[in-house]
Structure 1
Amino acid sequence: MNRINEILEGCKQNNRQCQEELYRQIYPAMFALCKNFFDDNHDALTALNNGMLKVYKNVGLYDSAKGTFFNWSYTIVRNEALSLVRDKKQSTFVELQEDAVALPEGNPFKSLEWKDVYVYLGKLPPVTRAVCSLFYIEGFSIKETASSLSIKEGTVKWHLNECRTRLKRIFESSCQL
């Protein structure tokens, strides 16, 4: 039995040492995921911890035949982060007609290193960053992104255009330095 399976068995039995070891192993990746959705480290950590509580609570439901444990826990933590984004959502969204904004072309992150992607994402407003992360990084469709964040598709398109506009300014200003 490999170490991750031993840890998971311990987690199923509520072994605190196994839970801590699991947390320490997946913390860096899960925290980076949560930072995609929040400016504040506290909010990112809240989403991560809420997600990990769900992981611990439901670890008995994990089925290795359906995929890796990392992907299973990643999905739980991502969904928990999205729930927190929805809960914190301010009612200041710009609602647009469905066809008022054209779908942005190209992925502004395509040519960047992963570490740079997170730096540039951190410079965007929280909702725009969340939309950008779901669409460009997680590969969600516009409809899935809208559904996940409980906003309209036109609003998603607006945030994608806003993302591209802001990133263009950021890229241009960093090239001039």
Structure 2
Amino acid sequence: MDKLIEGCKKNDAQSQEKLYRQFYPAMFALCKCFFTDNHDIITAVNNGMLKVFKNIHQYAPAKGDFFNWAYTTVRNAALTLIRDKKNKLTFELTENAGDAVVNNPFKQLEWKDIYYYLDQLPANTRYVCSLYYLEGFSIKEITGLLEMKEGTVKWHLNECRTRLKVIFEQHNARNIG
């Protein structure tokens, strides 16, 4: 890994390609939590990996594993894409002051199932749900990342739980019947 990183620091295209191919599956899986459209997923991965390559000199091994640094960089690129897309969309939401429940609806599921259920949610609800339940961000952190009001984040979490409950019940009914 150190040899690849050094090659990337020298802008060696082969090193960059090898690193990209090595990290692609994990970064794709990360971005799939936020987007259903493959174009958006790939855009987020590519934007993130471009930032990794541009800022690779800022990586400090003493601060942690390179993969974790790259993962955070790609996740931040996905969040930037979400904010950019959000600014282009207009939507109205009613705020709900209900408290977020800490029970994770995904804790017993496999990743393929999590992706299936996330795909059933509206985009903004999926973003909040992914950050809260899969990435472990607090409501306050999500408000800053997505530039949403706290009440709106709570509304999305409530909407996520409400919709997922219906989806889980429908899925279980089909499997029983």
Equivalent runs, 1:105-120 vs 2, <5 Å? 105-120=102-117
- Are 1:157 and 2:154 matched, yes or no? yes
Deviation at 1:103, TM superposition (A): 2.0
Q: 2:68 maps to what in 1?
A: 71
Shift of 1:91: 2.8
Unaligned runs of 5+ in 2: none
Aligned counterpart, 1:92? 91
What pairs up with 1:1-40 in 2 under 5 angstroms? 4-40=1-37
User: 2: CA distance between counterparts of 1:9 and 1:39?
Assistant: 34
Report the Cα distance in structure 2 between the residues aligned to 1:145 and 1:11, rounded to whole angstroms.
32
How many pairs does the alignment contain? Answer: 172
**Letter of the 2:139 counterpart:** I
Tell me the residue number matched to 2:130.
Answer: 133
Aligned to 1:175: 172
- Deviation at residue 68 of structure 1 after TM alignment: 0.6
Q: Percent identity?
A: 63
How far off its partner does 1:67 sit?
A: 0.7
**Residue deviations 1:51-81 (CA, integer Å, cap 9, x gap):** 1111001111111111111100010100010
**C-alpha displacement of 1:104:** 2.7
Partner in structure 2 of residue 148 of structure 1: 145
The alignment partner of 2:99 has SS state of coil
Deviations along 1:117-153, one digit per CA (max 9) or x if unpaired, are: 2221122111111100100111100000111000001
CA RMSD of aligned residues (A): 1.2
Cα distance in 1 for partners of 2:165, 2:51 equals: 38
Question: 2 CA distance for matches of 1:83 and 1:108?
Answer: 26
Look up the SS of the partner of 1:157 in the other structure.
helix
TM-score by length of 1: 0.93
Q: Which runs of 4+ in 1 moved over 3 A?
A: none
Q: Distance in 1 between matches of 2:120 and 2:131?
A: 16
Structure 1 residue 175: Cα displacement = 0.6
C-alpha distance in 2 between matches for 1:115 and 1:65? 34
TM-score (norm 2): 0.93
1:114 offset after TM fit, Å? 2.6
Q: Distance in 2 between matches of 1:154 and 1:53?
A: 34
Partner residue, 2:120: 123
* 1:60 partnered with 2:79: no
Aligned-partner Cα distance in 2 for 1:86–1:146: 11
Residue 93 and residue 73 in structure 1: after superposition, are their counterparts in 2 closer, same or farther (change >3 A)?
A: farther
